[in-house]
Amino acid sequence: MSRVGQKPVTVPQGVTVDIKGQAVAMKGKLGNLSLTVDRDIAVAMKDGKIVLEPSVQTRRARMNWATSRNLLQNMARGVAEGYKKVLEIEGVGFRAAVQGKDLVLQIGFSHEVRYPVPEGITIKAEKPTTLSITGADRQRVGQVAAEIRGLKPPEPYKGKGIRYSDEQIQRKEGKKK
């Protein structure tokens, strides 16, 4: 038995849930999200909470039970509160700005890098060296943050590059004379 899968998904105040077969749709103040749950998992609404049970006793069903439960929990929290990732840009002359639907980065290349902001994601440049990425879908927020960080990952000698705000960079010692 899965300890995580047994827990019901709590639905926050102001979130409406629509279950049609294996399709679960949630609507909240930050948007709409939907998920098609694996066919081996039965989804039901009981006492204002979403309960998941494996419909067949197979290894595959047990593996997907807790995964499906956590995906639904992330959806519920996302449409109610949202998710946020903060990136910091470190380096001389490195900066970022949002122009229209593009994020413009000057990160040490001979040209500026333009990153188109996807639908459902909001990017704010609070300072020229700090980016805030917010959205309802946890996976998309993390993916966008990883793509932006991948444009210029932090290097270990001086720490220049784009990093998460809570990330610690392992610094290396430079050449010795």
Would you place residue 1 in the very low, low, confident or very high pLDDT band (cuts 50, 70, 90)? low
Beta strands in the chain (DSSP E): 9-10, 16-20, 23-28, 31-36, 41-46, 49-54, 83-90, 95-99, 102-106, 113-116, 121-127, 130-135, 161-164
157 phi/psi in degrees, rounded to 5:
-90, -50
DSSP state of 12: P
Does residue 9 sit in the same domain as residue 76? yes
For the stretch 22-50, pLDDT in tens is 899 999 888 899 999 888 888 888 888 88
Burial class of residue 22, CB neighbours in 10 A (0-12, 13-18, 19+): middle
Residue appearing with tokens 């927020």: 141
Claim: this prediction has a pTM higher than 0.75: yes
pLDDT tens profile 112-160: 999 999 998 999 998 999 999 999 999 999 999 999 999 999 999 988 9
Number of domains in the chain: 2
Give residue 37's domain range: 3-80
The CA distances from residue 160 to 73, 106, 153, in Å, are 36, 13, 8
Same domain, residue pair 87 and 140: yes
**Could you tell me if 102 and 149 lie in one domain?**
yes
Question: Could you tell me the two tokens for 70?
Answer: 């956590």
Same domain, 27 and 65: yes
Q: Are residues 54 and 75 both part of a single domain?
A: yes
Element housing 111 (H / E):
none
User: 95 and 25: one domain?
Assistant: no
Token readout for 176 is 């010795």
